[in-house]
């Protein structure tokens, strides 16, 4: 039986690339998206499409309305999505988002007897979110080893039973895109915009749009989502 992995898929280019990487490593992939009250809900449709096109075994959407607390421009429509760059953690940061996402993925991974959880966290070309840093991933790995039945009973020689994989964490956006193209990712199916228009078109002004555009420029290829 193929080794299994849970892949957090958002509908953006990072998680699509990570899914392709996991498949290339021989994992049978179970993709997971979170409906957390985000204003850019089109990403949930894109996540489903990407999962199907890349060959995921199963795709699930779990609703946890962390957006109900507010505190982020991605979940509170009374807060405008910023178009200006900042050196601080931006208002698009969703409190505890990756912790919630990874916790849900950890539960499903235990049920599936999966060996790994893949997340598209990136600490190079990103918005400065604290839960995208390598030390955060390392800390969650420690939690996963301590907090699960399989971690206590069945840990291997390295003490890790379910590995938290963040394979693009040290890559630039251009490098991520280049690797994804080699693995057959269709980036026209992805969306990275925090504030898409009602017709599904990107805003072209938010931090995520700027980072994506710069990434395709660095990769030396046009963004197929804009063609």
> pLDDT tens digits for 100-159?
999 999 999 999 999 999 999 999 977 789 999 999 999 999 999 999 888 777 765 555
Domains held by the chain: number = 1
Tokens of 62: 């779990």
Which residues of the chain are under the pLDDT cut of 70?
155-160, 227
Report the 10 Å Cβ neighbour count for 96. 13
Distance in angstroms (rounded) separating the CA atoms of residues 172 and 223: 16
Q: What is the pLDDT of residue 160?
A: 61
Report the 10 Å Cβ neighbour count for 149. 9
| Max CA pair span of the chain | 52
Q: What is the pLDDT of residue 155?
A: 61
Q: What is the pLDDT of residue 10?
A: 95
**What CATH number does the domain containing 140 carry?**
3.40.50.620
pTM of the model: 0.94
Q: Which domain holds residue 71?
A: 4-226
């Amino acid at each position: 039986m193929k080794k299994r992995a849970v892949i957090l898929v958002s509908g953006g280019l990072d998680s699509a690339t990570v899914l392709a990487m996991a498949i290339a490593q021989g994992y049978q992939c179970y993709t997971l998206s979170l409906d957390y009250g985000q204003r850019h809900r089109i990403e949930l449709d894109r996540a489903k499409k990407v999962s199907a096109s890349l060959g995921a075994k199963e795709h699930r959407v779990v609703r946890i309305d962390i957006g109900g607390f507010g505190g982020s421009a991605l979940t509170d429509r009374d807060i405008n999505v910023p178009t200006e760059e900042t050196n601080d953690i931006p208002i698009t940061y969703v409190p505890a988002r990756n912790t919630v996402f990874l916790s849900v993925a950890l539960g499903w991974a235990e049920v599936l007897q999966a060996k790994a959880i893949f997340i598209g966290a990136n600490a190079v070309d990103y918005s400065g979110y604290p839960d995208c840093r390598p030390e955060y991933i390392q800390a969650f790995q420690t939690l996963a080893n301590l907090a699960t039945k399989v971690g206590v009973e069945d840990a291997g020689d390295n003490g890790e039973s379910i590995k938290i994989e963040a394979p693009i964490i040290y890559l630039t956006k251009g490098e991520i895109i280049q690797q994804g193209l080699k693995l057959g990712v269709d980036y026209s199916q992805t969306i990275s915009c925090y504030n898409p228009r009602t017709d599904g078109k990107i805003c072209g002004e938010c931090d995520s749009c700027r980072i994506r555009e710069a990434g395709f420029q660095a990769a030396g290829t046009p963004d197929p989502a804009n063609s």
